[in-house]
Amino acid sequence: AQKVTQAQTEISVVEKEDVTLDCVYETRDTTYYLFWYKQPPSGELVFLIRRNSFDEQNEISGRYSWNFQKSTSSFNFTITASQVVDSAVYFCALSEADGGFKTIFGAGTRPFVKA
């Protein structure tokens, strides 16, 4: 069965430090997609990245970077030089190609950035 685990509920970080949000997933499918979404206090989910199971290349977008490792079933997200505006809830999610693109979400992690 699909499962996404974000073991960190909240992480305290000082402004300008780096913070890594962990995501571990379980799936029996060979074709699947992984996502990260950001949920600011307004509530709407904002798409950050999508990665398919055949593309393990790491990605960097500004201060955001993602490390996808199939060997450990992990898709971790790092925010470099964190800012107060980064204080939101971040969700990791998994979608299987054979499941009608139903998406399973982790419980979310909130980096609490202190000035």
Binding site for other proteins (CB under 8 A): 4, 6, 9, 33, 35, 37, 42-47, 50, 91, 95, 97, 100-103, 105-108
Q: Minimal distance in Å, beta carbon 111 to other proteins?
A: 15
| Pick 80 or 87: Cβ nearer other proteins | 87
Sheet holding 89-96: strands in order across? 46-52, 32-39, 89-96, 103-105
94 to 20, 35, 42: CA distances (angstroms): 19, 6, 23
| Pick 19 or 89: Cβ nearer other proteins | 89
How many CA atoms lie within 13 Å of 48's alpha carbon, on the beta-carbon side? 28
Q: Minimal distance in Å, beta carbon 93 to other proteins?
A: 8
